[in-house]
Amino acid sequence: MGIKIKLPFGLDKNNTLVHISDVENGKNCGCVCPSCQSPLIAAKGNIKQHHFRHDDGRDACEGGLESTVHLAAKQIISERQKITLPEYVVFSSSKDSRGKRYSKCFIPSKTIDFDSVEEEKDLHGIRADILAKIGNRPLVIEIFYRHKVDAQKLDKIEKADISAIEIDLSGLAPKDVEDWEHFWSYLNNPQHIQWLNNARVNDNISKQIEKELTREIQEQEKKYKQEDIEIEKAALLEAIKEIQFFKKKEHIDLLKKEALSHPAWEYFSKYVPYKWDEFPELINKEVPNGDWIFGCDRRIWQSIIYGYFILHKNNKFSIGLING
């Protein structure tokens, strides 16, 4: 656990919350505790964190720090009339044809300016720490330092369908309360803010997100299709190169040279009643493109076809018998 903060704010004679950095040292600060109204002393030494302590020696009274942090948060939001909302995530998830998952969220994080800000305001039976409005749209702002919004209050917010956020100040460290600007930077960081309810989200928005997701996947499928076309083109060009190689005279001559050692001839030669150099023209006929298609000398593939179809009356034939 990090170093805890000490009381950084006090009430001045005008009943305005002031930061320790803005007052004189010692009793001359003229401040009282926002919680118990006891006189405060500004402790602004050179070693320890600057803070207010009670005149009787206490650093803080029971609940004083929590009350003061709440007051400071409400005051600075009221003064600045804005807040940075976190993104509101409405997930719609789907996969494309290649198993890639896509998801969409609806409302990105953004800073909004308020038209009005009221503290400790009642709305639909809900006591809001802050009730801000943008036009006629209300936003309940709850401050969490030691106690989160309880289930009963959250239930009321959801049933009334009011937009509401909770600002988590429970992690405040001394550096976060060095002055008002540091405090505001922490408070206004969307990482410290969560949605309790968002009245803008409804079924229509969910359907809109699904449509956007479908559209995104469709665009990706078009890209996949184009990629497949390019791959097929490349494969076709490679096949054409291979065919051009197989059709060359040098390759055909090589097939003739290696004919006697071809596996198909070694197997079927025992069934052929001819010597290699005595083949009749019937099964030694030059056929355009025949040798490179079958991948062997014409005497081999023609002998096998002749044997299957003519001699053995077999109507089942596969090129695999020759080059398999």
Structure tokens that stand for 7 in this block:
């009381």
Burial class (CB in 10 A: 0-12, 13-18, 19+), 318: exposed
Closest CA to 167 of 191, 204, 193: 193
Total residues found in the chain within this entry: 324
Least confident of 117-121, 208-212, 249-253, 298-302: 208-212
Q: What percent of the chain is predicted at pLDDT more than 70?
A: 94
Cβ 252 vs Cβ 291: under 8 Å: yes
Task: Give the closest residue to 106 by CA, choosing from 219, 203, 218, 196.
Answer: 203
3: tokens are 């170093």
Alpha carbons 33 and 20: distance in angstroms, whole number: 12
Task: State the pLDDT confidence band at 213, using cuts at 50, 70 and 90.
Answer: confident
> In this predicted structure, which of 91-100, 145-154, 191-200, 233-242 has the lowest mean pLDDT?
91-100
The helix or strand, by DSSP H or E, that contains position 180, with its residue range, turns out to be helix 180-187
Mean pLDDT estimate for the chain: 88
- Measured CA to CA, the distance from residue 69 to residue 52 in angstroms comes to 13
DSSP 8-state secondary structure symbol assigned to residue 40 = E
Q: What is the pLDDT of residues 276-310, one digit of tens each?
A: 888 888 888 889 888 888 888 988 888 888 877 77
With 80 as the cut, is the pLDDT of residue 142 above it?
Answer: yes
What is the C-alpha R_g of the chain? 42
Angle at 34 between CA 130 and CA 178, to 5 degrees: 80
84 pLDDT above the threshold of 90: yes
Whether the pLDDT of residue 324 is over 60: the answer is: no
Give the CA dihedral 257, 259, 263, 268, nearest 10 degrees.
Answer: -160
The mean per-residue pLDDT over the stretch 145-166 comes to 94
For residue 127, count other CB atoms closer than 10 A to its CB.
Answer: 13
Cβ pair 130, 74 in contact under 8 A: yes
Predicted pLDDT at 320: 67
User: Strand (E) positions, the chain?
Assistant: 9-11, 17-19, 40-43, 51-54, 82-85, 92-95, 101-104, 110-113, 116-123, 126-134, 137-144, 163-168, 193-197
User: Quick one: what percent of the chain has pLDDT higher than 90?
Assistant: 51
pTM to 2 decimal places: 0.61
Greater confidence (61 vs 134) lies with 134
**pLDDT at residue 272, as a whole number:** 78
Residue 295, helix vs strand vs coil: coil
For residues 87-99, give the mean pLDDT: 81
Strand-pairing partners, residue 28, are none
pLDDT, average across residues 143-148: 93
Q: What is the DSSP string of 265-290?
A: HHHHGGG--S-GGG--GGGS---TTH
Question: pLDDT category, 271, cuts 50, 70, 90?
Answer: confident
DSSP state of 225: H
- What tokens appear for 288 in the block? 């355009």
State how far the Cα of 82 lies from the Cα of 178, in Å rounded to an integer. Answer: 21
pLDDT at 276: 83
pLDDT of 1: 46
